Structure 1
Amino acid sequence: MPSEPLSVVSEAPVPPLTRPQLAEARRVRAVELFEQGRSDAEVARMVGIHPESVRRWKRMWEEGGAQALRRRPATGRPPKLDDAQVEAVRAALEQGAQAHGFEADLWTLERAGVVIERLTGVTLARASVWRLLTGRLGWSLQRPKRRAVERDDSEIARWVAQEWPRIKKGQ
């Protein structure tokens, strides 16, 4: 049987599913199997979940339909900063630390917290500033390279090319 040629479609890469999305996909698959009349043990084996979880899912499905097994929004305390405030913080932090009166253009959690408080009036703990920067803003930890201000790369290159071979010959 001749195979069809594969066509390459250039699309943006699809991000991997999150854990909640994977869990929901398992529950949806379980619903499909329930509707096919499969036994609880069979569904548990096919979905890769403990049979007790399958029995619980089946009860939920029988009482509320497939919608009862859909993901629900995360509960818990709402964030202290709304989306507009987070975008204002992003814009302010992207200006750099010196634009906000700090001597060096280096962000620390304390400095970011000060700017957040100035902008929004909300005081965040260091851990909350970290979660805001890494979670909602997508920033990552960056450490500055430790090198001398007086460093002269051209002089270093000259030394490596000329002086080092001369010294090495003398050994």
Structure 2
Amino acid sequence: MRYAQGGGLTDAGRAARQRLRLQAVERFEVGQKNAEIAAGLRVSVRSMERWRRSWRECGEPGLLSKGSPGRSRLSEAQVARLERELERGPLVHGWTDQRWTLARIKTLIGRLFHVSYTVEGTWQLLKRHGWSWQQPARRAIERDDDAVEVWKKETWPRVRAPRRSAAPGSSSRTKPGSR
């Protein structure tokens, strides 16, 4: 079932849906038709067809809830280890600079735990455990503000392309002498 507004079932809703599926299994076993079962349980015939197919292929376990789709695939111990590894820094793990990106963290999770996350899933995992994005708190040590100001005043005006004038022969709409 799709939820267009980004919603989904709560734990209670998931449990209620699972009870319906198990009631459908009882009716499958006695040979009732999909349309009858769907009407009796007040679900769509299409859902009933999917449930029956899952039941035929996997039995009753095929209809059990898989749990919340937002649950973490890492245990608390694994998350604690991930945090320790992140604190050690990217250099220790083979990257050439000191920046943790989501793609790098995703790769690290795969290396350490053999679990695949998407970049978005990695961000959700980090947020759930209190991590946040950061920007550098200070400017580069090499930055020379006086040299930057001199460059802006002296070099930039020479480098910048001059603006086109509205003189005859330019893209001006008026013809020479028409004023």
| TM-score above 0.5, yes or no | no
TM-score normalised over the length of structure 1: 0.42
Q: Point out the structure with max Rg over C-alpha.
A: 2
TM-score normalised over the length of structure 2: 0.40
